[in-house]
Chain A
Amino acid sequence: MTVTRTLAAALMTTAMAVPMAAQAENVLRWTSQGDALTLDPHSQNEGPTNSMNSLIYESLVSRNYELVLEPELAESWEAAPDGWTFKLREGVKFHDGSDFTAEDVVFSFERALAESSDFKEQAKAVTSVEVIDDYTVKLITDGPNPILANQLTGILIMDKDWSEANNVTTPQDYAASEETFAVRNANGTGPFVVESRAPEELTVLTANPDWWGTDLFPGNLDKIEYRPISNAATRVAALLSGEVDFVLDPPLQDLKRIEAADGLEVKTAAQIRSIFFGFDMASDKLRSSSLEENPFKDPKVREAFNLAIDKDAIQRVVMEGLSFPTAMITPPGVLGNTPELDEQFGFDPEKAKALLTEAGYADGFSVQLDCPNNRYNNDEKICQAAVAMLAKVGVDVKLDAIPKAQHFPKIQNRTSDFYMLGWGVPTLDSHYVFAYLLAKDGSWNATGYDNARVNEITQAITTETDLDKRTALIDEAWQIIREEKPYLPIHHQVIAWAMSDDFDIPIASDDGLRPRYVVKK
């Protein structure tokens, strides 16, 4: 009798324990090809890094998955004569328990403006931050700034005291491989807290129980396990076998296979990101070529390269149709992109050869193409295809496809002759593209492109409040750029997310996961 009762009790305990354990945790196991480069929120302005850091840190204003601006650490904002006044959310705490106040905003903007910051171009819009009281700040701008709120979504807010205590008041200098406390440790106000981090291996984030938005957003995740898997086939296998729930970047050729599998689904969206090649057109001599001069200085050579690349073939064969071939380095959806500017230059290897001959390179020349192999959809394969296409017009291209962690410093240090880059535009405004990629001192402008009018317009549109005039200026700059071709545009990316249908994950065209909207069914 006793035995039966004990057994019954044991059975009951087991029976009760199982559903409880299942309810206790909603874990999203997430993978993509590369890891966040650093947890320092101002060190690297790069998609996956921002995506990870914005789970931990927050900005004053953010965008939801439909890319509509929504208040985050600021509750409301209004224009003031010399800037904008932001009313801050009260009662917000950092993960270590300290209060979020106006001081932290001042500190974070100063930090984002530091020499080693990769957010200077966005933060520059704010000349100084004035504290009105603990929960009100005034962001002073250099003249009226119509797009200030757009520029703030990337500036994440850090805790002043924590940064001072850990000696991280300036951002990590990533290009110089600096190592600081903030690279592996984080203290934000965001919905997730770093539980453990092994770079390139596993990052575990647990839900922040004290997060201000817990009751305001539908998301119900308790934990996120992020495990980068560099091999595309392995990522798909992990999803098919149920080892992960969400693949941010499934290989395009496998989408049909994933869709056919039970319990999995694929979502696609046009992405706010363009893929292109950049030419170093400023150096006197190329590093990887035997030529005594720099052929990319000649606009004919840049045009020839444009005509030699068959963008439609790349779309059809390499991208499985999931891309929009283009002649512009910023996609529709960003203010400044127009169908006329995006009209392709066409594919004409004969004319390309003729142009090269005219420029004095009838026998071609050799040059190295630097390419990431774990960043964009099929990045290495696009580069391989480009090598073959350029070989047909006589240019001998040597491909160096390496992980993004080694590739990006080449661009930021301006030590690449010819390189692949992709650019997303979180502000949805051309200024972001001009300031980083086309202005003379843009921090990602490894082309060395320096056009007085474009530099002038980049400045002018930060203060021009007449929207028609502003749009006309943007259009003028793009016309010049289309003419001079410092970049070789390939396509606008289409993103595809593959996920278990246990989860409701809204896709966002900036390729950023928004866990606050992710619901485990």
Chain B
Amino acid sequence: MTDFSDPRPSRWQRLTDNDIFWSFIHSPGAMIAAAVTLLCILACFAAPLIAPFNPFDPAQISLWDGKLPPAWVDGGQPQYWLGTDNQGRDMLSTILYGGRLSILVGLAAVCLGMVLGVSLGVISGYVGGATDAIIMRIADVQLTIPGILLAILINGIGRAILPLEMREDFAIYVVIIAIGLTDWPQFARVARGATLVEANKEYVQAARVIGLPGWLIMLRHIFPNTLRPVLVIATIGLALAIIAEATLSFLGQGIPPTTPSLGTLIRVGNEYLFSGLWWITFFPALTLVVLVFSVNLLGDWMRDALNPKLR
């Protein structure tokens, strides 16, 4: 009898039969972090389906239900499980919708930073010479300035050049650009390092010998091999970007209160801390902490797992 079954390992086997997966299932911290992150992301993105109310629909808000405490506290009402804010919006729904916005802004900002940083890093490492020097010095200079200051600056300029009536509609894009432009040097440095290693390998030299153009070599041959370390930076960068968005919004420079992100919710709730309405700021803050902490843990584990020296 001949065995006709495919001798190559199946996709699932390939996914599970490697050291990264092994490291993952042997690290309880990573698994919990991954589960919590996944849960947060799924819950936030499914907000329109699972949230009890739509906080962006003014017709669903009743002012008379404003400032209600969480359901288990005296005076709370069962339909508002985490209480309501000053306008009568359900806190749970606002957090889910707000979390979605925070994650989206974080992802978009990291993607922008990654595309920008990796391109510049690969070019810098591959071309070398003056190009390399200029790009990396710009990155160095930018790294000496605290990221959040730079984000505030870019954000401020972005808002100033927009006409007043467009400011609110475009606030979210301005924030994404501000954070994305802040975190590219990290990506550039890592990508350049990886490029320097790859550029001297024989397959790259072979590609050069057969006359492939530089951009094709960078894109097809070098870029895929820089992805591992970039992914680690991207994960940690996501946590930082979410924090940066929350900081900007908390300072009143980010997402407007009509479509609040987690940071905006914390800022709005902050006004009510003195009067004892703790839940308006506490639950968004808790969500932010849990989300960022688990993404960070995941990034931390990924760094260890992908680092050959630590294996």
Chain A interface residues toward B at CB < 8 A: 231-233, 236-237, 240, 251, 253-254, 256-257, 310, 313-314, 316-318, 381, 384-385, 387-392, 397, 399-400, 402, 406
Contact A399 B258 (CB under 8 A): yes
Contact B274 A406 (CB under 8 A): no
Segment of B56-64, B118-126, B291-299 in the binding face: B56-64
| Cα A317 to Cα B68 with chains together (Å) | 10
Contacts A251-B275, A381-B86, A392-B59 supplied; 8 other A-B pairs, CB < 8 Å:
A253-B274, A253-B275, A256-B275, A313-B63, A316-B64, A388-B59, A400-B165, A400-B168
B88: CB under 8 A from chain A?
A: yes
Q: Type the 1/0 row for B54-87, where 1 means its CB is closer than 8 Å to any CB of A.
A: 0001110111101100000000000000000011
**Beyond A314-B63, A317-B88, is A388–B58 a contact (Cβ under 8 Å)?**
yes
Chain B residue at minimum C-beta to C-beta distance from A384: B87
Bound-state CA distance A254–B86 (Å) is 13
| A251, A384, A402: the one within 8 Å of B271 (CB) | A251
Question: Closest CB-CB distance, A240 to chain B, in whole Å?
Answer: 8
- Any A CB within 8 A of the CB of B310: no
Query: Main SS of the interface on chain A?
Result: helix
Of all A-B residue pairs in the complex, the 10 with the closest CB atoms, nearest first, are: A391-B58, A253-B275, A388-B58, A391-B59, A388-B61, A317-B66, A313-B63, A254-B274, A257-B274, A233-B271
- Interchain CB contact under 8 A, B274 and A233: yes
Could you tell me if A313 and B64 are in contact, using CB atoms closer than 8 angstroms?
Answer: yes
Most B C-beta atoms less than 10 A away, residue of A237, A254, A388, A400: A388
Nearest residue, chain B, Cβ from A385: B63
Contact, CB under 8 Å: B275 / A385: no
Cα(A108)–Cα(B86), bound, Å: 47
Q: Are A233 and B87 in contact (CB under 8 A)?
A: no
Docked CA distance A397–B58 (Å): 9
Distance in Å from the Cβ of A94 to the closest Cβ of chain B? Answer: 39
**Is A236 a contact of B64 with CB atoms below 8 Å?**
no
Residue A317 contacts which of B57, B59, B63 (CB distance < 8 angstroms)?
B63
Shortest C-beta distance, A38 to chain B (Å), equals 20
Would you give the shortest CB distance from B221 to chain A, in whole angstroms?
A: 51
Query: Within the assembled complex, what's the spacing in Å between the Cα atoms of A385 and B63?
Result: 7
Residues of B within 8 A of A (CB): 57-59, 61-64, 66-67, 86-88, 164-165, 168, 252, 257-258, 270-277
Per a CB cutoff under 8 Å, which of B62, B164, B272 touches A253?
B272
CA distance A241 to B279 in the complex (A): 24
Which of B62, B87, B271 interacts with A232 by CB under 8 Å?
A: B271
Q: Are A381 and B58 in contact (CB under 8 A)?
A: no
A389 to B86, CA, bound (A): 15
Known: A253-B275, A313-B63, A388-B63. A381 touches B164 (CB 8 A): no
Contact of A402 among B62, B67, B164 (CB under 8 A): B164
Question: By the criterion CB–CB under 8 Å, are A233 and B63 in contact?
Answer: no
Contacts of B87 in A (CB 8 A): 381, 384-385, 388
Q: How far does the alpha carbon of A317 sit from the alpha carbon of B67 in the complex, in Å?
A: 8
A316 to chain B, nearest CB (A): 8
Pairs A–B under 8 Å by Cβ, sample size 28 = A232-B271, A233-B273, A233-B274, A237-B274, A251-B271, A253-B272, A253-B277, A254-B275, A310-B64, A316-B64, A317-B66, A317-B67, A317-B86, A318-B63, A381-B86, A384-B87, A384-B257, A388-B58, A388-B59, A388-B61, A388-B63, A388-B87, A388-B88, A391-B57, A392-B58, A392-B59, A399-B258, A402-B164
Residues of B within 8 A of A316 (CB): 64
- What residues on A are CB-neighbors of B275 within 8 Å? 251, 253-254, 256-257
Q: Contact between A233 and B67 (Cβ–Cβ < 8 Å)? A: no
Q: A232-B271, A233-B271 are in contact. Are A317 and B64 (CB under 8 A)?
A: yes
| Chain B residue at minimal CB-CB distance from A378 | B86
- A240 to B274 Cα, complex, angstroms: 10
Name which residue of chain B comes closest to A381, CB basis: B86
- Please give the distance in Å from A409's CB to the nearest CB on chain B: 11
Query: How far does the Cβ of B182 sit from chain A's closest Cβ, in whole Å?
Result: 25
The chain B residue with its CB closest to the CB of A368 is B165
- Nearest residue, chain B, Cβ from A392: B59
Given contacts A232-B271, A391-B57, A399-B258, contact A406 B164 (CB under 8 A): yes
Give the distance in Å from the alpha carbon of A257 to the alpha carbon of B277 in the complex. Answer: 12
Q: Which residue of A lies closest to B276 (CB)?
A: A257
**Chain B residue contacts of A392, Cβ below 8 A:** 58-59
- B67 contacts across to A, CB distance below 8 A: 317
B274 pairs with A236, CB closer than 8 A: yes
Residues of the B chain whose Cβ atoms lie less than 8 Å from the Cβ of A254: 274-275
- Is A233 in contact with B270, judged by CB distance below 8 angstroms? yes
In the assembly, what is the distance between CA of A254 and CA of B57, in Å? 29
Q: Which residues of A contact B271 (CB under 8 A)?
A: 231-233, 251, 253
Q: How far apart sit A400 and B166, CA to CA, in the bound complex (Å)?
A: 10
| Cα of A196 to Cα of B87 in the assembled complex, Å | 40
Distance of B179 from chain A, by nearest CB (Å): 23
Smallest Cβ distance from B254 to chain A, in angstroms?
A: 15
CA distance A318 to B65 in the complex (A): 11
| A381 vs B87: C-alpha distance when bound (angstroms) | 8
Q: In the complex, how many angstroms separate the beta carbon of A132 from the nearest chain B beta carbon?
A: 51
> How many Å from the CB of B167 to the closest CB on chain A?
9
Q: Would you give the shortest CB distance from A417 to chain B, in whole angstroms? A: 12
Report the separation of the CA atoms of residues A240 and B88 in the bound assembly, to the nearest whole angstrom.
28
Output the nearest chain A residue to B67 by Cβ-Cβ distance. A317
- Expressed in whole angstroms, the Cα–Cα distance for A184 and B66 within the complex equals 43
Bound-state Cα–Cα, A256 to B276, Å = 10
Chain A residue contacts of B62, Cβ below 8 A: 388
Q: Which of B58, B62, B66, B252 has the most CB of A within 10 A?
A: B58
- Docked pose: A283 CA to B5 CA in angstroms: 79
Query: Which residue of chain A lies nearest to B258 when distances are taken between CB atoms in the complex?
Result: A399
Q: Which residues does chain B contribute within 8 Å of A317, judged by CB atoms? A: 63-64, 66-67, 86, 88
